[in-house]
């Protein structure tokens, strides 16, 4: 792989507002051009924070960010003013979980997409509008011309998410961040949106980071999976390896706690206990208090994320060894 | 949209009718006899009866109301007992003066309130925010006749910058568009601007601070929009609520300026009401009340019609 499109080095994020939290702890991650990565993890593990930090969306006054984010060689944390504006939505853009909340309710869909295109360098309003309409057609919104002049509340959830995708892709980003893009939708619509995303990814060759709780969806669209726990990446590797041969006890628990055809007839298992308090993390491995394989070392030393042939793993007592893959 | 406007207009009719009933009946609930104001205390019985029938006060109240409403619909609000002039004319010139005063006060209060509220909302927790909330608490709780007196003492007695009372040089009551007349407007308008300033600041601050936490504002930033463009979105989203609150405030200013107008002897509706009450001038009182209430109804109607024009989620 040549220079990666995205690389995170020791990225840490702390919130010090009313709610204090170490939401990300030394995250290291690389993503190549055209790669699709699924981020898995329980609620509160820091998936959304990771994506929002990539776009620098957290209020600066209440957030401390350490480490580095590089996209196409540019230092994202050092960006200012117009550079940052062009980067947001231009180089990297985002599809939000709730399309109903992520559109401005008092502007039409068409106005919002057009505005975004104009903000990224297009000067001609007519051309921007034509481009916006083209995007709506590209995401297969029927009667795109009519939907162009519709307000967000006049569309169904699925149509709104399509429009959101059109908006996110309007400026041809190199990296798309999708934060649970289908969670708010009906099951049938979920599949359509996933297929659409995959199709658009193949067509444009962009990279995608895709947050989901649905392992089936991850298998469907992703090349690689990274599993997060308490603001750390605990395991990462190709989809098939993670699904068939999970090494980290947390990944094993996460896979066992989701419904899938391979689990038919077996009891569904929940991981016992609850995620740790991010305001004061335990000294060693954050998962140790909930882990059946935990040893004395686990609760005193943070396991490093080590690379092997099957990806990366941070665990003192893995279920199976990474090298054996 | 047309249907919506028609519906709103139709709703306004029963409201306006009840307003006429209330303006008319309220006066009869107050103690005291209007004839005391015109007839000498020792007037003979025949004189009183004659006066009563001249003003229609001898008929039963519902009949009086019917007659009054019928004439009012034709623009005739009767004759002032105290001055003997047509009530309609007196009320209209007072309404003109109050419009000026309330207009300037509302303009200043709403504009400053929006600016200050937006700044405070953007910098919530900062010093501008603390300054703005202190100011809005003062604005809402300070008695404004008292503020009027303080401003008079400072700016007209000590500094001599602005006149203390009246509406124009030489006691003139007719407004003209020049500095000489405008000087008279400044102190009362400032005094009256303080309440809408406080309320609008508080409203806008709350709306903006809340809006900034909303997912769609984060999403606007994520699209690479500039701070100015994001602000336009916030402004358009807050406008309907601000409009409703401002409309209500302007309504209050139109009618609620009795104390300020009296302190500054500004010949507006509040001053007129005050005069009518003290002179027990029933036709004048009824006419003024009626016009003020109708103005309130019309303002609310305007807000109702304008709101859905700005906010696509409402009405239609
Ligand atoms: N602005 C903030 N201030 C303080 N804490 C925050 C803030 N944003 C997120 N957090 C905390 O950071 C942690 C990680 O949150 P995040 O939203 O990334 O979780 P997630 O993995 O996306 O979970 P979910 O699956 O529920 O979306 C949570 O404990 C959350 O409370
Ligand atoms: Mg999330």
Residue ranges of the domains in chain B? 91-266
- Give the chain B residue nearest A153 (alpha carbons): B313
Rounded-to-integer distance, Cα A185 and Cα A191, Å: 10
Number of A/B CB contacts below 8 angstroms equals: 76
DSSP 8-state secondary structure symbol assigned to residue B124: T
Across A284-293, B23-32, B65-74, B146-155, least confident range: B23-32
pLDDT above 80: residue A221: yes
What does the pLDDT read at residue B295? 85
Question: Which of B122, B216, B226, B239 to mutate to test binding with chain A, by most A CBs within 10 Å of its CB?
Answer: B216
Q: How far is CA A113 from the centre of its chain?
A: 22
Q: Tell me how close the Cα of B134 comes to any Cα of chain A, in angstroms.
A: 23
Does residue A22's CB lie within 6 angstroms of at least one atom of ligand 1? no
Spacing, Cα B92 to ligand 1 middle (Å): 61
Q: Which long-range contacts (CB under 8 A, 24 or more apart) does A269-274 make?
A: A271/A42
Work out the pLDDT band at A104, boundaries 50, 70, 90.
very high
Centroid of ligand 1 to alpha carbon of A179 (angstroms): 12
Least confident of A133-137, A140-144, A281-285: A281-285
pLDDT of residue B36: 65
Atom 3 of ligand 1, nearest CA residue:
A15
Residues of B with CB under 8 A from a CB of A: 214-216, 218-226, 229, 233, 236-237, 310-313
Q: Would you place residue B35 in the very low, low, confident or very high pLDDT band (cuts 50, 70, 90)?
A: low
pLDDT given at position A8: 94
Q: What is the pLDDT of residue B316?
A: 47
List the strands of the sheet with A36-40, edge to edge: A92-95, A175-179, A207-211, A36-40, A224-229, A232-238, A311-313, A306-308
Pairing of strands A20-31, A36-40: unpaired
Mean pLDDT of A55-67: 91
DSSP code, position B167: S
- Non-local (6+) Cβ contacts of A226 within 8 A are A29, A37, A38, A39, A40, A233, A235, A236
- For residue A167, the model assigns a pLDDT of 93
A129 pLDDT more than 70: yes
pLDDT exceeds cutoff 60 at B205: yes
Q: What was the pLDDT predicted at B148?
A: 85
Residue B146 pLDDT grade (very low, low, confident, very high; cuts 50, 70, 90): confident
How far is it, in rounded angstroms, from Cα B234 to Cα B217? Answer: 8
For residues A158-173, give the mean pLDDT.
91
In this prediction, residues A17-35 reach a mean pLDDT of 89
Fold for the domain defined by B91-266? MetI-like fold (1.10.3720)
B238: helix, strand or coil? helix
Q: Which of A109, A231, A194 is nearest to A160 (CA)?
A: A109
Does residue A268 carry a pLDDT above 80? no
Question: Cβ contact (<8 Å) for A151 and B226?
Answer: no
pLDDT at A262: 60
CA–centroid distance for A301 within its chain: 28
- Residue A20 contacts B, CB cutoff 8 Å: no
Burial of residue A223, with CB atoms counted within 10 A of its CB: 0-12 exposed, 13-18 middle, 19 or more buried: middle
Average pLDDT score over chain A: 88
Q: Which chain A residue has the Cα nearest residue B126? A: A61
Look up residue B104 and give its two tokens. Answer: 């300037």
Tell me what the mean pLDDT of segment A57-70 comes to: 91
Lowest model confidence (mean pLDDT) among A321-325, B21-25, B125-129, B152-156: A321-325
**CA A310 / ligand 1 centre spacing (Å):** 29
More reliable by pLDDT, A106 or B34 = A106
Average pLDDT, chain B: 84
| Nearest neighbour of A104 by CB, restricted to B220, B224, B310 | B220
């Amino acid at each position: 792989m040549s220079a990666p499109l995205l690389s995170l080095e020791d990225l840490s994020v702390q919130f010090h507002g009313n709610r204090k939290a170490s939401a990300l702890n030394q995250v290291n991650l690389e993503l190549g051009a055209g790669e699709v990565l699924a981020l898995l993890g329980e609620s509160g593990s820091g998936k959304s924070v990771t994506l929002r930090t990539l776009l620098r969306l957290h209020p600066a006054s209440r957030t401390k960010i350490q480490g580095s984010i590089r996209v196409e060689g540019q230092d994202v944390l050092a960006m200012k003013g117009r550079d940052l504006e062009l980067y947001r939505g231009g180089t990297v853009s985002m599809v939000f979980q709730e399309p109903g909340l992520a559109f401005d309710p008092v502007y039409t869909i068409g106005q919002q997409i057009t505005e975004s295109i104009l903000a990224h360098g297009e000067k001609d309003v007519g051309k921007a509008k034509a481009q916006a309409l083209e995007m709506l057609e590209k995401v297969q919104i029927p009667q795109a011309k009519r939907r162009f002049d519709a307000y967000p509340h006049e569309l169904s959830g699925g149509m709104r998410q399509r429009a959101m995708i059109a908006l996110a892709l309007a400026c041809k980003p190199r990296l798309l961040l999708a934060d649970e893009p289908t969670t708010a939708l009906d099951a049938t619509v979920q599949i359509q949106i996933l297929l659409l995303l995959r199709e658009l990814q193949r067509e444009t060759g962009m990279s995608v980071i895709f947050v989901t709780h649905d392992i089936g969806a991850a298998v469907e669209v992703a090349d690689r999976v990274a599993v997060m726990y308490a603001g750390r990446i605990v395991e990462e590797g190709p989809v098939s390896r993670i699904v068939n041969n999970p090494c980290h006890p947390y990944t094993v628990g996460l896979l066992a706690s989701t419904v899938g055809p391979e689990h038919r007839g077996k009891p569904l298992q929940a991981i016992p206990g609850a995620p740790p308090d991010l305001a004061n993390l335990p000294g060693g491995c954050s998962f140790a208090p909930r882990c059946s394989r935990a040893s004395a070392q686990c609760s005193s030393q943070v396991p490093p994320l080590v690379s092997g042939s099957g990806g990366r793993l941070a665990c003192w007592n893995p279920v199976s060894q990474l090298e054996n893959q | 949209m047309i249907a919506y406007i028609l519906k709103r207009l139709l709703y306004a009719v029963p409201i306006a009718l009840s307003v006429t009933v209330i303006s008319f009946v309220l006066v009869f609930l107050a103690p005291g006899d209007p004839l005391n104001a015109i007839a000498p205390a020792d007037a003979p019985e025949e004189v009183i009866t004659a006066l009563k029938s001249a003003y229609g006060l001898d008929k039963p109240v519902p009949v009086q109301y019917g007659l009054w409403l019928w004439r009012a619909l034709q623009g005739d609000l009767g004759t002032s007992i105290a001055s003997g002039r047509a009530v309609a004319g007196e009320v209209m010139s007072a309404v003109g003066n109050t419009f000026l005063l309330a207009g300037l006060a509302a303009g200043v209060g709403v504009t400053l309130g929006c600016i200050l509220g937006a700044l405070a909302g953007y910098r919530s927790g900062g010093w501008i925010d603390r300054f703005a909330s202190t100011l809005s608490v003062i604005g809402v709780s300070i008695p404004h006749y008292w503020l009027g007196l303080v401003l008079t003492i400072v700016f007209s007695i000590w500094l001599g910058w602005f006149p203390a009372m009246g509406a124009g040089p030489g006691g003139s009551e007719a407004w003209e568009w020049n500095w000489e007349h405008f000087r008279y407007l400044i102190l009362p308008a400032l005094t009256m601007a303080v309440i809408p300033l406080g309320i609008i600041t508080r409203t806008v601050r709350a709306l903006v601070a809340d809006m900034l936490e909303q997912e769609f504002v984060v999403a606007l930033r994520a699209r690479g929009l500039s701070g100015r463009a994001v602000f336009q979105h916030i402004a358009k989203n807050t406008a309907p609520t601000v409009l409703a609150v401002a409309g209500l405030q302007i309504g209050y200013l139109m009618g609620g300026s009795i104390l300020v107008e009296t302190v500054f002897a500004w010949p507006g509706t509040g001053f007129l009401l005050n005069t009518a009450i003290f002179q027990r001038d029933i036709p004048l009182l009824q006419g003024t009340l009626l016009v003020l209430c109708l103005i309130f109804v019309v303002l609310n109607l305007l807000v109702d019609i304008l709101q859905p024009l700005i906010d696509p989620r409402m009405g239609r």
